[in-house]
């Protein structure tokens, strides 16, 4: 047995032959359309727009979405989505998934809660790769405290007037629409609604955030709303009931982040193992030193535990029996596993791991964004504690 991306995956009962066919298809796409170019895209700070239609050609953008809007839903379960996150992680640049698949958090509220007219106008164009949609929730003053967001949407006849600012919005510079959390009522979570705001509406401005530790190729933006008039029919769901829709969305975002983190951990193991088998120190291969072998054993143990936890949580999400506490703690487990494997792999790789052409170098820089995005470790633990009745 050799340690690589596939050998470190447990034989799980939740994956069928159809899942393997899908994995092979996504892997070919990553190998041909992403891996040869990812270093250049990282340095350029963006992914070319042509990648979206190419991803649509193999069904990558459409998987799991309703057929009537151009999606692919027949026979699709949650494990198809996990495979997407895992395989995209193989390139070692989390910004690829954060950019290319940003619709996976921006689009579901539209599909699930928007009017039919909005769905028809927005969903097919996103699934074909012709347009993009981003989720605009985080604010400069609030971070994870989304129940106290301050961006307002005041009703004015047939429109809402939107004022405020959003920050750290992945895909924000290229989005055609924003699924935006706004305050339409009183304080707290009960006064929040979701509103579809066109990016080209008068009064919308955006600036790119370039000086990032990781996710270099994913465009990240500040979004500003200054007296933006948005048609009232652009409300997503019911007035003042947007918070629950966001919470449902977060479970799937956290699962995707989990799968990406575990995939990144596997990349670290694979890259370090290949180096350890080649590198000679003190008269023997690096892999023959007991201290190095133990590092690999511990990395594999943590990855196995994380995958098992993920698969069980995913099965429960698929069947409507998921515990929010488990989904929250799963993300903590996965991102800490990624952090551990990135550190240990860097130690094994030594100097070569410090160079940018090394996937582990990128993954090491992206540990913090994975641990914070979708809800920080501290917020996740507190959420779980409250579910325990403590």
**CATH number of the domain encompassing residue 257:** 1.20.140.10
**Of 117-126, 237-246, 295-304, minimum mean pLDDT range:** 237-246
Q: What is the CATH number of the domain that holds 157?
A: 2.40.110.10
Long-range pairs, 39-43, Cβ under 8 A, ≥24: 39/356, 39/357, 41/93, 41/95, 41/96, 41/217, 42/93, 42/95, 42/216, 42/217, 42/356, 42/362, 43/216
Selection from 49, 1, 78, 16 nearest residue 219 by Cα: 49
Burial 327-346 (b: 16+ CB within 10 A, else e): bbbbbbbbbbbbbbbbbbbb
Range of the domain at 80: 17-127
Q: For residue 173, what are its two tokens? A: 């510079």
CATH number at residue 107: 1.10.540.10
Residue 222: alpha-carbon gap to chain centroid:
18
pLDDT, averaged across the chain: 93
**Residue 390 pLDDT > 80:** no
- Helix then strand then coil, in percent of the chain rounded to 5, is 55, 15, 30
Residue 172 and residue 261 in one domain = no
Whole-angstrom distance, CA of residue 213 vs CA of residue 222: 17
Residue 181 has pLDDT above 80, yes or no: yes
**Residue 216 and residue 86 in one domain:** no
Nearest to 153 by CA among 181, 125, 116, 188: 181
**In this structure, is residue 11 part of a structural domain?**
no
Same domain, 177 and 261: no
The pLDDT value recorded for residue 147 is: 75
144 pLDDT higher than 70: no
The closest of 237, 234, 258 to 246, measured between CA atoms, is 237
pLDDT (average), residues 173-186:
95
What is the distance between the alpha carbons of residues 338 and 267, in angstroms, rounded to a whole number?
Answer: 10
4 assigned to some structural domain: no
In a domain, 7, yes or no: no
Comparing 38-47, 144-153, 234-243, the range with the smallest average pLDDT is: 144-153
Q: Which residues contact 282 (CB under 8 A, 6 or more apart)?
A: 289
Distance (Å, whole) CA 332 – CA 334: 6
Per-residue pLDDT, 203? 97
Is residue 39 one of the residues assigned to a domain?
Answer: yes
Residue 8 lies in a domain: no
The pLDDT of residue 244 is: 84
Whether 64 and 111 share a structural domain: yes
The reply to whether 234 and 260 lie within a common domain is no
* Confidence at residue 63, expressed as pLDDT on a 0 to 100 scale: 96
Token pair recorded at residue 129:
């790769």
State whether 183 and 59 are in the same domain: no
pTM of the model: 0.93
The pLDDT score that the predictor gives to residue 355 is: 85
- 14: exposed, middle or buried (Cβ count in 10 Å: 0-12, 13-18, 19+): middle
pLDDT in tens, 223-281: 999 999 999 999 999 999 998 888 878 888 999 999 999 999 999 999 999 998 887 77
Query: Is residue 31 located within the same domain as residue 49?
Result: yes
Q: Tell which of 127, 143, 173 closes a domain.
A: 127
In a domain, 6, yes or no: no
The SS3 assignment for 49 reads coil
pLDDT at 101 over 70: yes
Q: Are 238 and 67 in contact (CB under 8 A)?
A: no
Q: Which residues contact 28 (CB under 8 A, 6 or more apart)?
A: none
**Residues 230 and 284 placed together within one structural domain of the fold:** no
Same domain, 101 and 153: no
Place of tokens 């895992």: 86
Tokens read off for 162: 């939107």
| Integer Cα distance of 124 and 196 in angstroms | 15
In the block, tokens 């470790």 appear at 377
250 lies in the same domain as 232 = no
Residues 157 and 62 in one domain: no
The gap between the terminal CA atoms of the chain, to the nearest Å, is: 45
**Angstrom distance (rounded) from CA 53 to CA 131:** 10
Band (pLDDT 50/70/90 cuts) for residue 2 is confident
Residues 213 and 107 both lie in one domain = no
Number of domains in the chain: 3
Residue 143 has a pLDDT of 65
Q: Is residue 9 part of a domain?
A: no
State which of 186, 214, 240 marks the end of a domain.
240
Confidence of residue 1 (pLDDT cuts 50, 70, 90): low
Percentage of the chain modeled with pLDDT above 90: 82
The residue among 240, 269, 288 that closes a domain is 240
Q: Provide the β-strand partners of residue 280.
A: 285
In a domain, 5, yes or no: no
Question: Mean pLDDT over residues 66-82, rounded?
Answer: 96
Question: Quick one: pLDDT band at residue 84, thresholds 50, 70, 90?
Answer: very high
- The predicted structure's pLDDT at residue 287: 79
**pLDDT above 70 covers what percent of the chain?**
99
């Amino acid at each position: 047995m050799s340690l690589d991306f596939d050998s470190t995956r447990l034989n799980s009962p939740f994956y069928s032959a159809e899942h393997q066919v899908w994995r092979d298809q996504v892997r070919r796409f990553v190998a041909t359309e992403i891996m040869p170019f990812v270093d250049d895209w990282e340095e350029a700070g963006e992914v070319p727009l042509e990648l979206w239609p190419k991803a649509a050609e193999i069904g990558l953008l459409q998987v799991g979405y309703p057929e009537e809007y151009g999606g692919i839903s027949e026979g699709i379960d949650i494990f198809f989505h996990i495979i997407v996150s895992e395989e995209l992680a193989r390139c070692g640049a989390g910004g690829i998934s954060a950019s290319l698949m940003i619709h996976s958090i921006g689009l579901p509220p539209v599909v699930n809660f928007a009017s039919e007219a909005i769905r028809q106008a927005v969903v097919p164009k996103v699934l074909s790769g012709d347009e993009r949609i981003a989720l605009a929730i985080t604010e400069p003053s609030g971070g994870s405290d989304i129940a106290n967001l301050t961006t307002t949407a005041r009703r004015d006849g047939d429109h809402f007037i939107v004022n405020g600012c959003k920050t750290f919005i992945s895909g924000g510079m290229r989005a055609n629409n924003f699924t935006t959390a706004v305050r339409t009522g009183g304080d707290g979570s009960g006064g929040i609604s979701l509103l579809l705001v066109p990016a080209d509406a008068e009064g919308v401005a955006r600036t790119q955030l370039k000086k990032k530790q990781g996710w270099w190729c994913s465009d990240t933006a500040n979004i500003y709303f200054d007296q933006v008039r948005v048609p009232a029919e652009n409300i997503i769901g019911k007035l003042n009931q947007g918070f629950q829709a966001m919470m449902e969305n977060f479970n799937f975002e956290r699962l995707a982040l989990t799968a990406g983190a575990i995939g990144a951990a596997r990349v670290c193991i694979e890259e370090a193992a290949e180096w350890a088998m080649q590198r000679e120190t003190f008269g023997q291969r690096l892999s023959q030193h007991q201290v190095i072998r133990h590092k690999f054993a511990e990395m594999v143990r943590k990855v196995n535990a994380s995958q098992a936890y993920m698969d069980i949580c995913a099965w429960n999400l698929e069947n409507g029996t998921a515990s929010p506490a488990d989904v929250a703690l799963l993300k903590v487990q996965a991102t800490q596993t990624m952090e551990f494997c990135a550190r240990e792999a860097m130690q094994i790789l030594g100097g070569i791991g410090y160079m940018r052409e090394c996937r582990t170098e990128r993954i090491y820089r992206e540990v913090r964004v994975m641990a914070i995005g979708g809800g920080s470790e501290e917020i996740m633990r507190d959420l779980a504690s409250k579910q325990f009745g403590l």
